[in-house]
Every structure is written in structure tokens, then in C-alpha cells.
Amino acid sequence: MSFRYHEIVPVEQHYVVNASVELQPNPRLQELVDGGLSIPFVAEFTITRSRWYWLDETVVERNTSFRLFYHALTRQYRLSIGGIHRNFSSFDDALRAMLTLRNWAVAEHGNLTDGETYNASLRFRLDTAQLPKPFQVAALGSRDLDLTTNWVHWNFVAQALDPR
Amino acid sequence: MKRLILICSAVGTILLFLLASAGGKTSLFEHNYPLLLSLNVLLAVGMAVLVGIQLQTLWREYRQRQFGSRLKLKLIIMFVLLAVAPGTLIYAVSVQFAVRSIESWYNLQVDSSLESGLELGRNALDALLNQLGERSRSIALELGDEGAPSLSSLVRVREQLDADEVSVLTTTGRIVATTSDMHNGLAPDVLPSSQLRQARVGRGYRAVEGEGDKLVMRVVVPIASRQFQTDPLLLQVRVPVPESLAQSAESIQELHQSYQELRLARQGLKRIYLITLTLALLLSMFAAVAFAFMFARSLSEPLSILAEGTQAVAAGDLSPRQALPSRDELGVLTQSFNRMTRQLLDARAQAEKNSAAVDAARAYLESVLANLSAGVLAFTGDWHLRAANQGALTILTDDLTDFESMALPDWPVHQTFRNAVLGGFSDNEGLWHKQIEIEHGEGNIQTLLLHGSQLPASTSGGYVVVFDDITELISAQRNAAWSEVARRLAHEIKNPLTPIQLSAERLQFKLADKLSEDDRAMLNRSTQTIVNQVEAMKNLVNGFRDYARLPVPKLAAVDLNALLREILTLYEGSSVPVLAELDGDLPLVLADASQLRQVVHNLLQNAQDAVTEQAAPQVTVHTRQDGRRVELLVRDNGPGFPAAILTRAMEPYVTTKPRGSGLGLAIVRKIIEEHRADISIGNRPEGGAEVRIRLRLAQHEVVVN
């Protein structure tokens, strides 16, 4: 897995993250979902500010959990993001929806100082700790379930939108 | 090491317990299972390393044949067998059991019935959905007839269908009108445009959607309007599935899902069981081996202590060993061993003390014996020499070397002594005394007094001979006897001599005129002879008297050199010259000057007499200091003392001169003895006699007084 693109942009009140994750076709994942397993994913985002005299200061730390599972009764794929459910008739649609982060509010304007340079880090991964134990063990050495992007780091200058 | 093993075992037990309890769903470690697993594996590896180190240590000890290592190895093998065999059996059974039971959870029947239940639910929902769809279609037809649908008609439709929401949409998704049961003011949820397009044809879009935890049916159908052909409108109806049906269907769905999940998890579950059991086996086995080491060590340690102690005792080291404080048999054993060595130590110390005491007593006895002037010889029962003191060696003038190895009857020398001793013991029972004389050739006779006694049989028997050299004693007795004889003779013989002389002279005086010339001559001759002989006899008797009546010397400090020079002036004109070699730095001696003068005269006279027949006669007088004595030596180059009389030369009437009285040396000796000085006579190796007198110093005497 890797990020196709990632950005942090200021909108009205917040800074939002837009990103897209590229995932090679993974039949094993679909097999597990079709089999009835609820697959947990997590997106992790932090903003740090470097300090020359001490460890970097963590300004913002956000996690969002995703769950992808098959609802056999309605024959639909469901994606839970936080407390919100979305239904998809095909696995690929659901997966695509999950892998596309859009307008993820990660910080308010007040959190960041204008003009300051911050370091943003983003990662998207299969949350193995939330898997049932047998799958945790199975995931230990499995390439199909080694679903995690590397941390991507980039610097950005905080610049809130001009209220005008 | 011990503590490490204990800690590892405790930690291992806790981790294993956690690992086993993590099988439950609600465990604290459900989400950290891999961490827990890796901790366990790490611990197992750590314990394997521990066991490896111990094994290596043991192997090295075994290779070095260290004491106790064999026992330790045997014990460890036993312990390990005891622990590993049942453990492995239980492991094998558990693994089989777990894997088989996991397999048995899944069977087709459950699978298919769950599938059927799910299908049932779907069918029920589908029936409801179709019913709703048909009704919505007919309503849409009615709405189409009315033309533009009004909000009131939509509310009517909503109440008619008992729907949550009824909306009129354009095909692009724009909301024309909507009414909702929920008063949240939110815009109604709109399908994606692709599905909206699908809804325009045929029977429209029908689906059951999950919304949160409840099910909602959504039907989107076209409103067939004759007036607006170009832009047909869509009717969206969302009706919740009745509560009871929804719940049942949802529970079937959930059960199905869990079952499916379990089915998928089957392989992983088997692996978990296998890993957990294997880890449990490994940890318990390693712990068992580690503990086996500990136990083996604690069992073999007392033995090592004992072995060390035994070797030390064998090497003579009786110092106390470290005792085990334990109260079991091994502890008691080491303690008893210590007690034993302590007793041995005490016994040895006692023995050493006793032997030291015995040695001291023997040394004392030996020194007493050694300092005894009497000779002591001890023989075994079969006449082998057992001990001889210094006195015996001196008297016999023999070292008696190697005499221990031969019996007394086989002695090649000291035959008189031997025969006397043998005879004494064979002739007498118990104590006996005997006096013997041993001839050392040419009349040199040594007189010994022997005392023999038989040792009691209780002290292993044997014989003891004690003997004294009484030659000197006899000589002294003889001297005393001679003195007495001399005194008597002088007294008895001297008295008649004067009348004899006077009578002879009177005879000559009276008869001389009456006789013829011849007779008168004869008378004169005879009378002269008588007078001469009487005179000679008088001299003889005076000599005896002098010897017998030697006065007690009046000792005083005397300058020996001055005395000698004075005497030597008298010999200046004599036929034999006397040489003086005097020590110039001579201290004063303690002597009676007149008696010392007589001694020197006697000695010089003897020396001159001895050298008269020599071609180059020579007499020398030496003085010198010898320690705390002053030595006076008179030497000549004459024939020396004959060996036969050497020992008796100083006894009275022992003489080599045809006309000597034999009193000269006797008087000398008597004077010297009265002075408490020493005299010795001997022959010089280069020929000639030598008389040595050692006088005491005057100064020394003064200091003593």
C-alpha cells in the first residue's frame, strides 16, 4: 500500500487532509470480507513542530477507524467510519471509498500558528490489534494481510484562509 | 543463577497464564496477543540459553572428571526424564485433542441451516420490499395522473405507506419535494446518479439498506407524467422494516457472520492452540531442566564438600570443613564428618604432646647418660648392642660403629671386656660387679670396674653394663700408699744410719794406730765405704721424706718468666745448653715460687739426663698463654718415654735411669696437683719427650676470690 497523493489544506474553520491510498488487488482481503470478517483499518495523522532544544512537540494527533464488512442479509458491503455507515453494492466500491480520505478535519485554525512550519505525518494501515486473535496470529507472517503504508512526512506552512 | 531461574520460571508461569487466558474474547490482552506471544517466545529462548549454559558447565565438569559431576549428570538425566516424558505425552494428547475438537465445531449442517435462515430472512425482506415496490408504483401512477405532486399529497402517501420519508426527485438527484417522519431537518439521502438512472427504467430501484442498527427499505420508482415527458420525476420511498422482523433477520445475520468468522479463523485458532501448548511445553521443560540442575547441585554439593574433606584428611589437613546447615541426612553427614576430623585433630594433638613429652624425657635421660663419666652399654636379649653412651665410647676408645648388627660374642675387639661381660652374666644371677684389667700392649694397663644387671622381662629384657675407668683411682691409691711407705721408711731407716756412721768412724779412729800398715789401709777403705754408703742412704731417705712430706704450697702471684730466667742462669755453664723461648706478654700465674723452682729443676735435670748420649743435645723451655691458663713446656730431643711406662711415668719408683730414685716426676706431679694445675707427658712426633704444665692465672684467682 502506498499513498497516491496526500495534502493538508485549510478550509473554512479547519485544516483538512485529502489523501488517496493505492492498494494492489487483494483477493485474500475480499475473501475474508465475503467470509464475514469485519476488517478494521485505521488512518493516523500527526502534526509536529520541531524544537531545536527538545524533542519535537506534537501539536495534533488524530486517528480515524474504518471497518469494512459484508452484510449478508442485504447483500451489501458496509463501511463504518467512526459512527457513520455507508452501504456499497460492490466490494471494490466500498474499498475505494475507504481508501479515499476526503475532507478529514484534523485541526482547527486555532491549533496552528500562522506562518509557522509544521511537519505532518500520515499513515493508513490494517489495524491488526482490532482483528480477532486467530487472524492476528495469521496476519503475523502473511504478506496478504501486511496492509500498511509507510509513514509519509511532509512540511507545510500554516496559513489560515483569509476570512474575506 | 538460582535466582535467575526462579525469576524466569515465575515470569514464564505468568506469561503462560496470560497467553492461555487471552483465548477468551474479553481479555485485557486480546489486542496485544502478538506482543504476548513474542514475550513468551523470548522467554523460552532465554531459558533455553540458561539451560544451555548450565549444560555446557556440567559437560566441562564432566570432561574434567570433577568430583560429583557424574552424580549430577545422572540426577539431571533422571529429573529431565521424569519431567519431559509426561510433559511430552500430555502435549501430544492436548494437541491432538484441541485440533480435533476445533475441526469438530464445524459441520455442514450448521452451515447450511444458518444459510437457510439467512435466506429466509432475505426472502421475507424481499417480499416486504416487493410489496412496498408494487404499492409505490401504483402510487407513482396516481401521482403522475395528478401532474405536479404537491407536498400534501406526499404527506398523504407517507401516511398511507407508513414511511419514514417520501421524496420527489429529478433524475439528476435534485429534490423537488420531500416529507419526512424524522424532524431533524436534514436533507434526505439521495442515491448516486448511476443508480438513479437505473431507477428510471423497469420496476425502479428496490433495496433493503442498513442504516445504523436498523433496516430501511428504499424504493425509487419513476412518476409517469404525461405533462413533463422531457424530465421525468422519481418517487423515493423509505420505509423501515418492521421491528420484529428486522431484529430476527439481524440476529440471524449476526450469527451467520460470527459463524463465518469462526470458520475462517479455524486455521488461525489451531495455530494458536498449537503455539500456546508448544510454548507451555518448552517453558515447563526448560524450567524443569533448570530446576533439575539446581536440585542436582544441592544434592551433590554436600558430597563435594565431603570429598574435598576426605582428600584433605588423607593429605593430613584436619582443619574444619564448611558444614551444611541443612538438617537432612546429608547435612548430618557433613556435620558428623566435621566432628570426626575434629576428634582426629584432638587425638593427633594429644599424641604429639605425649610423644613430645616422651622425647623430652628421653632426651633428658640421654643427656644424663651422655654426661655420665661412667660408660653404659645396653644389650638386647640376644646380645646385640642397643645403646651406648659417650662415656662408654671414651673409655673403650672406640666409636662402636656397626656394633649394633653383631652379637656381643662375635665382637672382634675388646676381647677382655667381652669375655668379662659374658662371664659376668653367665656366672651371676641379677646384679654383679667385677674389676678387670685390659692390657693395651707394653704394660699399658687400663683398669675397669664393671657392674652388670639384667633388665626385667617386662621391658623386653636385655642386659646393661655400667663400667668405670678406675686406672687413675688406682694410681692415686698407689701414690698414697707410697707416700705412707716413704714416710715410714724415712723414719725407720734414718734413725740407725747416724749410729752406723758414727760407729764406723769410731772404729777407724780407735783401731787405726793398732793395726799394721796394710790392715790400716783396708780399715780406712772399709770405713770410708760404710760412711759413703750411709751418706747415700741418707740422701735416699731424705728424698723419700721430701716426697712424703711435701709442704702445702703457699700460692701467690708469680712472674713465671722471671723465675725461669733466674733458674736458667744456673744452667749456663752446664754441658747441655738450655734454650728459652718465652712469651714476652705473659700474665702472672698462681704458684708457690720455691716449689715451682723445684719442678723446673727436676724437669730440666731429667731432660739433660735424657740427651747426654745425643750427638746434638737440645733442651728447650717454652712459655705461652693458652686461654685462661699459662703453659710451660719442657722439651728435649732424647729417646723419649718408653711406651711401656708412659702411663705410669709419674708414679714413684718408675724410672728408666740406672741410678735414679724414680721420685723426680712423682714429686713434680704431686706439686702440680697441689697447685690444682695440669700436667701431661708425651713423646713428640719428631722425637724426644715433652712435658706440658698448665698453670692457673693469678688474676683469675683474684677475681674468683
Tell me the sheet residues that pair with B467.
B375, B450
Residue B635 confidence (pLDDT) above 60: yes
Judge if ipTM > 0.85.
Answer: no
Which residue ranges make up each domain of chain B? Answer: 2-105+258-307, 131-241, 372-469, 476-548, 556-704
Q: Indicate the burial class of A2 (C-beta count within 10 angstroms; 0-12, 13-18, 19 or more).
A: exposed
- Cβ–Cβ gap A87/B34 under 8 Å: no
- C-alpha cell recorded at residue B152: 400534501
State the Cα–Cα distance between residues B279 and B290, nearest whole angstrom. 16
The pLDDT value given to residue B25: 56
State the Cα–Cα distance between residues B141 and B161, nearest whole angstrom. 15
Whether domain B556-704 has CATH 3.40.50.10490? no
Nearest by CB: B22 against A35, A37, A133: A133
Best residue of B40, B214, B256, B269 to probe chain A, by most A CBs closer than 10 Å? B269
- Cβ–Cβ gap A35/B260 under 8 Å: yes
Range of B207-221, B288-302, B359-373, B388-402 with top mean pLDDT: B359-373
Q: What is the CA radius of gyration of chain B?
A: 74
Sign, CA torsion A112/A113/A115/A120: negative
Lowest mean pLDDT among A92-96, B229-233, B427-431: B229-233
- Per cent of chain B over pLDDT 90 is 3
Residue B430 confidence (pLDDT) above 60: yes
Residue pLDDT, tens place only, B514-542: 888 888 888 888 888 888 888 888 887 77
Q: Indicate the burial class of B188 (C-beta count within 10 angstroms; 0-12, 13-18, 19 or more).
A: middle
State the Cα–Cα distance between residues A70 and A74, nearest whole angstrom. 9
Collapsing DSSP to helix, strand or coil, B24 comes out as: coil
Q: Which residues of B559-584 are buried (b: 16+ CB within 10 A; e: fewer)?
A: ebbebbeebbeebeeeebebeeebee
- Is the pTM higher than 0.80? The answer reads no
Range of B88-97, B236-245, B482-491 with top mean pLDDT: B88-97
- Cβ–Cβ gap B261/A74 under 8 Å: no
Q: Tell me the three-class secondary structure of B549-580, residue by residue.
A: CCCCCCCEEECHHHHHHHHHHHHCCCCCCEEE
pLDDT band at B704 (very low <50, low <70, confident <90, very high): very low
Q: Are B220 and B236 in contact (CB under 8 A)?
A: yes
The pLDDT value given to residue B251: 85
- C-alpha cell recorded at residue A103: 475532507
B466: left (phi over 0), alpha (psi -120 to 50) or beta: beta
- Per cent of chain A over pLDDT 70 is 96
Whether B134 and chain A come into contact, CB under 8 Å, resolves to no
Whether A134 and chain B come into contact, CB under 8 Å, resolves to yes
The pLDDT value given to residue A41: 92
Q: Are B54 and B290 in contact (CB under 8 A)?
A: yes
State the Cα–Cα distance between residues B573 and B275, nearest whole angstrom. 141
What's the helix, strand, coil split of chain B in %, to 5?
A: 60, 15, 25
Q: Are A77 and A87 in contact (CB under 8 A)?
A: yes
Domains B131-241 and B372-469 share a fold: yes
Superfamily classification of domain B372-469: PAS domain (3.30.450.20)
pLDDT band at B186 (very low <50, low <70, confident <90, very high): low
Which residue ranges make up each domain of chain A? Answer: 2-157
Whether B34 and chain A come into contact, CB under 8 Å, resolves to yes
Best residue of B111, B122, B259, B264 to probe chain A, by most A CBs closer than 10 Å? B264
> What is the average pLDDT value for chain B, to the nearest integer?
82
Q: How far is CA B532 from the centre of its chain?
A: 97
Class of domain B131-241: alpha beta
Relative orientation angle of helices B243-314 and B33-63, to the nearest 10 degrees: 20
Residue B29 confidence (pLDDT) above 70: no
What's the rounded mean pLDDT across residues B597-611?
Answer: 87
